[in-house]
Each structure stands twice: as structure tokens, then as C-alpha cells.
A and B are shown apart, each in its own frame.
Chain A
Amino acid sequence: MHSRARITALSAAAACLALALTACGSGGSDNAGVEGETGTEDVTLSVGTFNEFGYEELFKEYEELNPNVTIEHKKAATSNEARDNLTTRLAAGSGLSDIEGIEVDWLPELLEYPDQFADLSDPAVEGRWLDWKTAAATTEDGQLIGYGTDAGPQGVCYRADLFEKAGLPSDREAVADMLDGSWQDYFDAGKKFVAASGGTAWFDSAGATYQGMINQVENAYEDDDGTVIATENPEVKDIYEQVLQASVTDGLSAHLTQWEDDWVASFQSDAFATKLCPGWMLGVIEGNAEGVEGWDIADVFPGGGGNWGGSYLTVPTQGANQAEAKKLAEWLTAPEQQIKAFESKGTFPSQVDALKSDALLGQTNAFFNDAPTGEILANRATAVEVTPFKGPKYFAVNDAMQQALTRVDVDKTDDPASSWEKFVTAVGAL
């Protein structure tokens, strides 16, 4: 009797397991998608972000407002890491977070697989974002795959103390006047600075500066139909040569690669005096330069306005709690919440109402010498004239270009001409 009871129990357990496996294997066919009921069952939502989204406090707030929701934050150090993670798990068909943060540069690739992402379009969010922000995440059929979080209007961050030492004007307005104009003006000011700075470079990296310049070109790497023109486009080659002339020949670069250990450490050692900074970079600088005094930000950007990066929140269709995930994503990207994220990490909102709000315009940043960062970046956002076209190969081509610049600027394994040849080969192999 005893052993029979045990066998019955065992087979019951096996049956349960089998049931669980089938439930798992069916991929949640009973899933109501994004239209399901919310706020009833206890759910744990995972949110995947990278760098600094500024959401830590907001998660706590949301959990208090919605007691049935527990949020699990998965934070990747770099956007490349997050992209690898996203691609791998999209391919595997499981393992993604309920909400995945994505960067604007990946959109062209992801828009090719719209059925992997829930359609987030909703009358409630119409007109919430700047038009170009929503347009970039919408498929031809009108499916919205992501809610915009931040945008990357760029100003110039600089070290006022080092400017002063080198005999350059150091207050915000004067610096803005000095750097206003073309990129050549920015580089010329750099030559003056480097001549008097005693070893401190003008900017951190050729790659980062190039990024600022290329984002002002409408069709840098691809025609509107997606044909790759990167290697024939004279504009690309001109910018490439100009930035390397400034970095290497004129010695304006600190010869660093962004995000590398050396780059992070350089903030502590007065290695460079200026840095192009989109809103989200403010938090990064503050973290890396902890304890360093003298950082400030000028309301100016060479060559007209520029936008670098900015992110979206998506809800992958492989998630089990899409309705709750959509609700959270909607809440996080509402103007009120994005302003709080901006206050916490400097990620500049892409929502129309947020740009006009007093809370944003009155925002100052103590680390940047109490600069009115809200007002400066709002000005920078309106100065953006060009929305660069980014096709399916944009990310890969830009990566190859960054490596071409690194070879000359950081590694010094190539001169500009031979590194360009390698860039042409690399693009040809895509």
C-alpha cells in the first residue's frame, strides 16, 4: 500500500510537470497581449536598460502606486552589451525582459521584425512626443514599437578652470560666443587652448567628436532606399579627414576611446578640456569626474544643433505580462516621469509637454557649476535641424567608421589614408 501511494504521488507530480512543460511550450497562447486586464494579479516585471535611464527612483514610486507590481531592473553597462543581449534573445525566442530599452540606432534593424514587438500605439499617447521621435519607431503600417524616453540634444561641456588657466574666456556665455559657428571654429579655439594648456587636450576622442559631426548629415551612410553610400559620400570622407586633421596633426585629441578604462580614468586626470555632451552624458561625466571641480556646459554646438542618441522602451511579444508592461512603459515615458528622470540623471525628455514645463526649464545642475541645464538643452533641442536617415546597415557602418578613427587616433597603427582603405573593405564585407 505504502509503495503504491508513493507511486501515485510520483505520477501525479510527473503529470504536473508535464502540464507545466506544455504550458511553457505553448508560448502563452492564453496571453491577452497588450490589451489584457491590469492591476489585478501580482506580477513581477523585468525592465532591461543600459547606461543611465534615471529610473531607479521611479520604479520605487510605481511599486507604491501599484502594489501588485514588483519591478526587477536589469541594467547593462553599455548599449553594445544591451544590443547583443537583445538580439540573442530575440533569436532564441525567450529570455527577454518584459520591457526592453533600445537605442535609436538599433531601430532600423528592429523595425524589420515588427511582430517581435507589441504594438504600443494608443490614443492616450498620441502627440506625446516630438514628431520625429515617434516617426522613427513607427513601421510603414503604423505600428508603434517603442515609447520614446529621452533625446540627445547636444551642448558643449567644458572645464572652466582649465579654460581660465589657458587664458580662454571661461563663463558660459563667453564660451558659447567663442565656439559658435562651424566645426573649424571649434577646432581653432582648440589650437589656441592646446598651445597654452601645458599638455591638456582639447577634446576626449576623435570618435566622439566625429559622432557629433556625422549626426548633422542627413544621408551619411545610406540613401533613402537603403543603398549603402558611406564609402562614396564625399561628406563622410571630408568629416573623417577634418576630424583626424584636428585630432592627430593638430594634436587636439586626448587619444581615448569612449567607454574604455582609460577614458573613464581620464576624467580624474585633466586629460581634456571639452566634450560634446548630449543630455544623457551629463550623468556619465558627473559619475566619472566625481570630486573634480570646474565642469560647466555652454549653450552652443558647432555646425548647428545636433542630436546624439536617445532611447525607447519596447514590449517584446515573447513576454507573459504585456499588458502590465505596456502600462508601466506608458507611465515611465509620461512627461512628469521623464522630468524626474532628467532631474536624477540628466536624460533629456523627448516629450513635447516636458520641454515646455517649468520644472524642466528651471532645472539647474550643481555639478556643472549650477548651469541651467534644462533651459540650455531645451534650446539645443530646438536648434536640431537635421534628422539623419538611419537604414538597416547604419549601426554596422558607423561601428566600422569608429574603428577606422580609433586606428588612427588611439592605436596609431594606421595613417588616415590606410585606415580609410580598411574602412572601405569592412563596409564592403557587410
Chain B
Amino acid sequence: MAVTDRVQSPPPNTNQRASRDKSVKRLAFSQKVSKWDVKLSPYLYISPFFVLFAITGLFPLAYTAWVSLHSWNLIGGQGKFTGLENYEFVLAQPFFWNAVGNTFSIFLLSSVPQVVVAIAIAAVLDANLRAKTFWRMGVLVPFVVAPVAVGLIFNNLFADQAGLFNELLTGIGLDPVRWHSDSLASHAAIATMVNFRWTGYNALIFLAAMQAIPRDVYEAATIDGAGRLRQFFSVTVPMLRPTIIFVVITATIGGLQIFDEARVFDQAGLGGADRQWQTLTMYIWELGWGQRNFGRASAVAWLLFLIIVIIAMANFLITRRIATQGGRR
């Protein structure tokens, strides 16, 4: 009762004061909002990436780890908790180590020539050509072709008995290469498909970086009497170092996850009767979808993840070394 009374009979001048209070409060609120704006907005602006990453990257990663600790059937779903049994099993499998070897072999056969050839192509494209855009778009065409389509075309070329490559080889009196039997030959064939697809793409990245090199450096080199080749090795390549590192890292990640080209290399898609070209991702596929053992497949997926992390760290250390060396110059 007393409380209501007090409110009901305010002093005559409080009305004015209250309204002034209100406007002060409103000012304080808008200040607060602008303070939040300054403090929080940047995080809000970058949050879509992290939210998406959490949903599509982090969650699957954690869930895969969870699956790998269980016996888990593709259709039947979760079974009992088995701890590290799946990892033990997988690490004892000769097919696993074979797949590790194949993955690195195909990766090296594809990435190394790819980077070297891409730089060479970029250097040519950087020269003063007629119909520049045509040539530049031209190198990107293979990238537009779907990997499975590339696989189908190259399969025809690499067929052991009826393929074009072997017909050409026997035509000039050489022995045919056993593309689908010999391990290294199959790696070379698959690496060819990968290179066909990615070289042009990398060449364009190198080209962009080359065009960012200031032209006066070249002019200075020309005045110093450096020829085209000397300019390429002493000016272009050193100036491209950060781009080369970027391309090597993306090629590493892609190369260790190679799947499509190797999978369509024959009809069964398991990497050959003796697993001559079975990569780690194909081994995951075989375990998960062929044998329907999701637990073991997830264990391999996590081991692959760890391998990539190790390689990425090695890359990082090498990169830092190169960067500091570059600084000392």
C-alpha cells in the first residue's frame, strides 16, 4: 500500500527529472551497443567460417574418432565399444602399409613433375604471346573435365592389351608396359591423370604470381647482361618462393587424399588384384563399403589424418627455414 502511495504522489518536478534520466539511459544504451559493435562484430563477421567449419569439419572429425573406437557396421550401425582394437587390427594389415606406400609413390610421381612443369608453362605464358587469353584459358581446360571422365579416357589409353600407349610402344618395337599389373607403371599412369588435371591450374597460379614481380627487376637484370634463362632462375624462381610453398602444400594435401583417378583405373575399383595402386582413401572405401566395417574404416581415416598433420608440420618447418634463408640474403 505504502509503496503505491509513494508512486502515486510524486513531487511536481520529478517528472522532468525522470525524462532526463531516460534520455541519459538511452544514450548509455546506445553507447553500450556501439561498444559491443566494436568488440563483437568482427567475431560475428568471421563466425560463418568457423560455424561452418565446426559443422562440416570438426564434428565429422570428432565423430569419426568416436566411430573408430567401436565395432560399427555400415547399415547396422553402432556396435560395442572396442577401444583401440580397430587401430591395432589395421596397423597389422599388410594392405594398410601397402596403401601408405602407394599413396606416397603416386603423390611424389604427381606433385614433383606437376610443380616443375607448371612453372615452365607459366614462364612461357608470361612471355609476350599472341592471343594471350586463349593460351591462358587453354591450360585450364583439363581442370574443368571431371576426374572420373579423365579416368575413363585415360583408361582407354592405358588398357594393357588394347590401349593406345601400348599399341604405340609395340609399334616402335618396344615391349608393352603392364599398366594394370606392374605397381610402378600403374602409379605412373595414375599420376599422369592427376598431372593432366592439375598442371594447368597450378600454372595459372604461378602465372599470377609472376605477373606481380616488378618489371624493373628484370630491366636491371637485362642491363647487368643476364640472359633469359639466367633471369628465370635468378629472378623469377626466387621471387616465386611463397607461391611455390603454397602450391606444394595444397598439392601435398590433395596428393595424400587421391581417390577418383585411382578408383576408376579398373572396373573393380579396389586398386588391382594385388592392390598395386590402392591408396589410403581407397582402403578406407574398401573397409567401409566393401566389408561394411565402419569402425576399421574410421580408424584408417584417423591414421590418414595424423599422417597429413605430420607432413603439414614438416612442410611448415621447411617453409620457415626457407623464409629465414630468404631474409638473410
Contacts and interface: CB of A to CB of B under 8 A. Distances in A.
Interface of A: 78, 80, 84, 87-88, 90-91, 109, 112-113, 116, 256-257, 259-262, 265-266, 269, 396, 399, 402-407, 410-414, 422, 425-426, 429-430
A80 B75 CA distance: 17
Interface string B243-268: 00000000000000000000000111
A261 B93 contact: no
Given A87-B292, A399-B268, A413-B276, 7 more contacts: A90-B75, A113-B75, A113-B76, A257-B273, A399-B270, A403-B274, A413-B273
A262 B94 CA distance: 29
B81 interface: no
B274 A414 contact: yes
B165 to A, nearest CB: 12
A113 to B, nearest CB: 5
B274 A266 contact: no
B187 interface: no
10 contacts: A80-B267, A87-B74, A257-B267, A261-B162, A262-B161, A265-B162, A399-B290, A410-B180, A410-B273, A413-B181
Interface residues of B, number: 29
A112 B76 contact: yes
A84 B289 contact: yes
Contacts of A266: 161-162
Nearest to A255: B161
A240 B253 CA distance: 42
Given A87-B289, A113-B76, A261 B273 contact: no
Nearest to A392: B292
A183 B181 CA distance: 29
A126 to B, nearest CB: 29
Contacts of B181: 410-413
Q: 4 nearest interchain CB pairs?
A: A406-B273, A265-B162, A411-B181, A403-B273
Q: Of residues A78, A406, A425, which shows the largest number of chain B Cβ atoms within 10 Å of its Cβ?
A: A406
B75 A116 contact: yes
B219 to A, nearest CB: 54
Interface stretch (B124-132, B152-160, B190-198, B310-318): B152-160
Interface in B175-205: 178, 180-181
A322 to B, nearest CB: 19
A88 B74 CA distance: 8
Contacts of A256: 161
B273 A260 contact: no
Contacts of A422: 274
Contacts of B159: 260-262, 265
A383 B33 CA distance: 87
A256 B273 CA distance: 12
Contacts of A116: 75
B272 interface: yes
Contacts of B290: 396, 399
A425 to B, nearest CB: 7
A91 B74 contact: yes
A104 to B, nearest CB: 18
A78 B268 CA distance: 9
A429 B93 contact: yes
B161 A265 contact: yes
Given A261-B163, A265-B159, A412-B181, A407 B267 contact: no
Interface string B93-125: 111000000000000000000000000000000
Contacts of B276: 411, 413
Contact of A78 (B156, B267, B272): B267
Interface in B139-161: 155-156, 159-161
B320 to A, nearest CB: 42
Interface string B269-301: 110111010000000000001111000000000
A198 B63 CA distance: 60
A113 B76 CA distance: 7
B199 to A, nearest CB: 25
Contacts of A257: 266-268, 273
